[in-house]
Amino acid sequence: MDEERIILVSEKVGNRIQVPGDLRIPLYLEKDLQECTRKLVQTRGEKNLYLVYFLPLDELPQISSFVNRFKPAEIACTSVVFSEGPLPPLESPLLEVISDLRSTNVSELEMQFLLNKSFAELEKRSKNALRKERHLTGHIDSYHDLQALIDIGKSLTLEKDTDTLLRQILHLSKKITGADAGSIFITEHNAQGNKLLRFRYSHTFSKDLSYEEFIIPFDDSSIAGYVAVSGKVLNIADVYAMDPGAPVSFNRSFDEIHNYRTKSMLVVPMLNHLDQVIGVIQLINCKEAGRNRTGNESFEVLLKDREDFELKVTPFDIRYESLLQAVAGQAAIALENNRMIRQIEHQFDEFVKSSVTAIESQDPATSGHSFRVAAMCVNMARLLNIQEKGPLAEIQFTGTQIKELEMAALLHDFGKVYINPDIFLKGKKLFPHDYAFLKLRLNFLYRTLQLQYAQVHQEQARETKLSALKEIMLLVDELNKPSVLDIDRNELIGQILDQSKALQAEDLEGNQIPLLVPEEIENFRIPRGTLNKEERLIIEGHVEHTYAFVSRIPWPTEYQQIPEIARKHHEMLNGSGYPEKLKGKDQLPVQARIMAIADIFDALAAADRPYKKALELKRCIDILRNEVTQGRLDGELVELFIREEAYLGKNSPGGA
Ligand SMILES: [Fe+2]
Ligand SMILES: [Fe+2]
């Protein structure tokens, strides 16, 4: 920085000095030295001022305190003081701005000497101050850099989204080094297993440029490729002035297209824990040139024109090489962590899906049910996120909560694995083997009666009894059907049992052959569906089996709710559900209310239940609304489900 030397003489001592005739330094003879100094300071511009005062001792304190307001590197002053009387006690800092004390007049020769001495002193003092300041600035910069490194470590560890992570890595790298632009490349493998570099993220402070991802070869045909292959750091002062024999060359097409001038470049590899290059950070145009700026401050200097590129861009300081390597190391760890987390999540996802597929394949009755319910739940969560009006607008799901709901839905019926699949497959009121046994017994009775009456030659009685038994066989067949027909089951059973006396016969052990045994009667009395009370309880037990199984999985904290959500999928708002008969929205989280709707809808709409065919969509919707009327399902959620066709998920019935 330029300096300007000035001599200021108080009018009170103007007659005490003899000014050299060849003096080239401006000299001001002033009554008010402070005012004169103020004006000089105002007009100094970027220059440093070296001021030498000639003044009486009593004017010194005022001048000294005024000048002390400025940094010593900007304004340095000293003085030749005149005093005749007894000296008052002089202390620092006043003493420090006195270069000489005179009680007699100053000759031309002495004046010459005093000026030389004073300005030499000021120069030394100013340079020392400047050095100190630079040292301090360097310290502050290093402190900021270290602080930034710690912050990078913290924030990179916390960030789970890779895109945000890349943006952060580049932003912080540029900020630390004062770079104007930068890009991040990530190592990938193509289908043949060959490495390549994907240009993932880029930002130029001085230009508002959009960027598109592209791929470059993993070889030394580019600067980033060279760094990736060699694992070396490249610090280039000016890419346009590179040695033609250098192992890499710079491609100027970006500069030409965007009217930019890439000059200095710092490129470092990102190495993982196995020392493999997982990416490259490339920084462009350090902006610390010619000023006392730290990287952190110069980050926001704009490069507008050619002159700016020439004057403000400087090579990257050598210390940034190791600093950026440290950042790249942190970044690599964070990226690897994210990759591994995603891999584990993916593996777990696949494991859950494969397990659910395996379980559902045992039971064609519910094949695909869990996937469809999961898809509908995810649809609902996404739909809720975009509701702007009404009570549902308050419900919001984060990405993690949607994943949690999806997992809970995939696993909600997992407990069925512990239940005898025959119960799920029970298509009629009696199990096939029980029905076959009943028919066999009635056939045995038929043959026995036929034989008995043939022996005693009672043809007419025989025909009456045998045709009654045939009628019973038809009734039994009717009773066994699962259809919700308008038949009075008790009356039919009564009709059969009324024949017991008339159709008496003994088996080989002398026991009466019954027309119906109590278990058969109980099953024939089932009013809807095919399951008796005991079987229904066993099936309902799947919820607790699911809960016990899913609870054993060591879920990460953000998925802690999965077991509880899965456990509540058969709870109903009015308390008529199971297993805990929970009641009201306070007891039933929105996830469980959503899952209950999806679960019922799929049971109705799926074509694969043993005891019923798939219902028409309109009928399914009517039934859902009826469930709302009865207070079992959440009306607002059901209406959203119907209005937005949440059932048309990728995997849901009727969907694509
Ligand atoms: Fe279930
Ligand atoms: Fe289910």
Closest CA to 632 of 554, 573, 591, 546: 573
Sign of the alpha-carbon torsion through 116, 119, 123, 125: positive
Q: Mean pLDDT of all residues in the chain?
A: 87
Q: Grade residue 3 by pLDDT with cuts at 50, 70 and 90.
A: confident
Give the distance (Å) from ligand 2 centre to CA of residue 556.
24
Q: How many C-alpha atoms does 141 have within 13 Å on its Cβ side?
A: 23
Ligand closest to Cα of 567 equals 1
- pLDDT, residue 273, reads 82
For residue 77, what are the β-bridge partners?
Answer: 51
Q: Residue 43: how many CB atoms within 10 A of its CB?
A: 9
Give the distance (Å) from ligand 2 centre to CA of residue 570.
8
Q: Would you say 568 and 589 are in contact if contact means Cβ atoms under 8 Å apart?
A: yes
Rounded Cα distance between 331 and 334, Å, is 5
Higher pLDDT, 312 or 516: 516
Give the distance (Å) from ligand 1 centre to CA of residue 609.
14
Give the distance (Å) from ligand 1 centre to CA of residue 645.
22
- pLDDT, residue 497, reads 92
Ligand closest to Cα of 600 equals 2
Give the distance (Å) from ligand 2 centre to CA of residue 566.
10
Return the axis-axis angle of helices 33-42 and 60-67, rounded to nearest 10°: 20
Give the distance (Å) from ligand 2 centre to CA of residue 436.
31
Rounded Cα distance between 344 and 352, Å, is 12
Give the distance (Å) from ligand 2 centre to CA of residue 370.
6
Ligand closest to Cα of 543 equals 1
Give the distance (Å) from ligand 1 centre to CA of residue 369.
10
Say which range, 81-90, 147-156, 355-364, has the weakest mean pLDDT: 147-156
Sign of the alpha-carbon torsion through 565, 566, 570, 575: negative
Give the distance (Å) from ligand 1 centre to CA of residue 407.
14
- pLDDT, residue 295, reads 52
Ligand closest to Cα of 602 equals 2
Give the distance (Å) from ligand 2 centre to CA of residue 599.
5
pLDDT digits (tens, 9 = 90+) for 542-554: 999 999 999 998 8
Rounded Cα distance between 651 and 646, Å, is 11
Ligand closest to Cα of 609 equals 2
- pLDDT, residue 370, reads 93
Percent of the chain residues past pLDDT 70, beyond the cut: 94
Q: Grade residue 274 by pLDDT with cuts at 50, 70 and 90.
A: confident
Is the per-residue pLDDT at 293 higher than 70? no
Rounded Cα distance between 173 and 337, Å, is 19
pLDDT digits (tens, 9 = 90+) for 219-237: 988 999 999 999 999 999 9
How large is the C-alpha radius of gyration of the chain? 46
Give the distance (Å) from ligand 2 centre to CA of residue 411.
9
Closest CA to 271 of 325, 318, 226, 215: 325
Rounded Cα distance between 300 and 641, Å, is 50
Rounded Cα distance between 288 and 134, Å, is 13
pLDDT digits (tens, 9 = 90+) for 382-415: 999 999 998 999 999 999 999 999 999 999 999 9
Tokens found for residue 8: 């200021």
Ligand closest to Cα of 597 equals 2
Is the per-residue pLDDT at 188 higher than 50? yes
Is the per-residue pLDDT at 62 higher than 50? yes
Higher pLDDT, 28 or 169: 28
Is the per-residue pLDDT at 9 higher than 70? yes
Give the distance (Å) from ligand 2 centre to CA of residue 324.
53
DSSP sequence for 320-364:
HHHHHHHHHHHHHHHHHHHHHHHHHHHHHHHHHHHHHHHHHHT-G
Give the distance (Å) from ligand 1 centre to CA of residue 533.
17
- pLDDT, residue 270, reads 92
**Ligand 2 ion: Cβ-proximal residues, 5 Å cutoff:** 413, 599
Rounded Cα distance between 156 and 167, Å, is 11
Give the distance (Å) from ligand 2 centre to CA of residue 542.
10
- pLDDT, residue 1, reads 57
Give the distance (Å) from ligand 2 centre to CA of residue 308.
67
Give the distance (Å) from ligand 2 centre to CA of residue 403.
18
Say which range, 426-430, 590-594, 611-615, 629-633, has the weakest mean pLDDT: 611-615
Is the per-residue pLDDT at 54 higher than 80? yes
Percent of the chain residues past pLDDT 90, beyond the cut: 43
584: left (phi over 0), alpha (psi -120 to 50) or beta: left
